[in-house]
Amino acid sequence: MEIMNFIKSCEWVFEHLEDPSLAMVDCQAVLSTGEGAGLYHEEHIPGAVHFDLGQDLSGPVQTHGGRHPLPDIALFVDKVGKAGIQQDSTVVLYDGGDAAPAARAWWLFRFIGHERVYVMDGGLKEWKRNDFPVTKEVPSPRERHYQPTIKEYMIAGVEEVRAIAEGESDVVLIDSRSSERYRGEEEPLDRVAGHIPGAVNLPWFDALSEGRYLDPEIQKQRYAGMDKQQRVIVYCGSGITATPNIISMLESGFEDVRLYAGSYSDWVSYPGNKVANPGISNQ
């Protein structure tokens, strides 16, 4: 039985694969590079189109905005239409099984106002574990005109985050990175190790078990003592791995969960922004 709001099982997808209203989107990607087209062309779920993490789900790196800036939304919407997706399509997104690329795409679809959008639990790894079919065949969907309804409230800007860091806001700020990066003990990617002042650490991978989301009742234990009516802002290193935490929190009953899209890599791009537990520098 499907009891979750934003997650579909592989079995559900297999049973509905021939439904003409279903749009399958492959988001396989190597997180370190963002590239995934080769993985898609090697094998994917029949009928699935590919959205590339680096090319379609992210924009060009600039001075600010982080290592994976949000894409130009007009270009993203154009990609959605060319994929044959309409406003009433049931969109199911999946990746190789690491959850983050599909969750990033899910967030972007929600951001442009798409309501019937889900991630497939466990990704392609779980799909293949069930011996469901894969193919190399690339579909040719009929292009559609997609009219977005942008939900700007889903984004938290650097000024709102700065207010938290300076103790001027009671909004909850969650750092989704590993505890080692949060504590400033290691930093493989960004300018300086540490975390945004005021943030609490809830590593994104703790929302999952072997690439599958934990049961909502178990998820709720991660947030014991937190007010589900209070606004929450979630960040990670570059706005990718924060998104599984957003899904987890919404599944657990939180009502106002926003993404600091540029995340920690954007935060440290501003010389005046303070860092808690500053560790090693990559400059």
Q: Rounded to the nearest 10 degrees, what angle do helices 73-82 and 100-111 cross at?
A: 100
How many residues are present in the chain?
Answer: 283
Question: Which residues does 236 contact at the CB level (< 8 Å), separation at least 6?
Answer: 175, 176, 177, 204, 242, 245, 263, 264
Q: Give the span between the Cα atoms of 72 and 57, in whole angstroms.
A: 9
Q: Give the span between the Cα atoms of 116 and 140, in whole angstroms.
A: 22
Q: Pick the catalytic residue: 77, 92, 120, 236? A: 236
Nearest-Å Rg of the Cα atoms of the chain is: 18
Instruction: Give strand pairing partners of 119.
Output: 7, 93
For this structure, is 10 an active site residue? no
Per the listing, tokens 């292009």 go with 143
Residues with catalytic function: 236
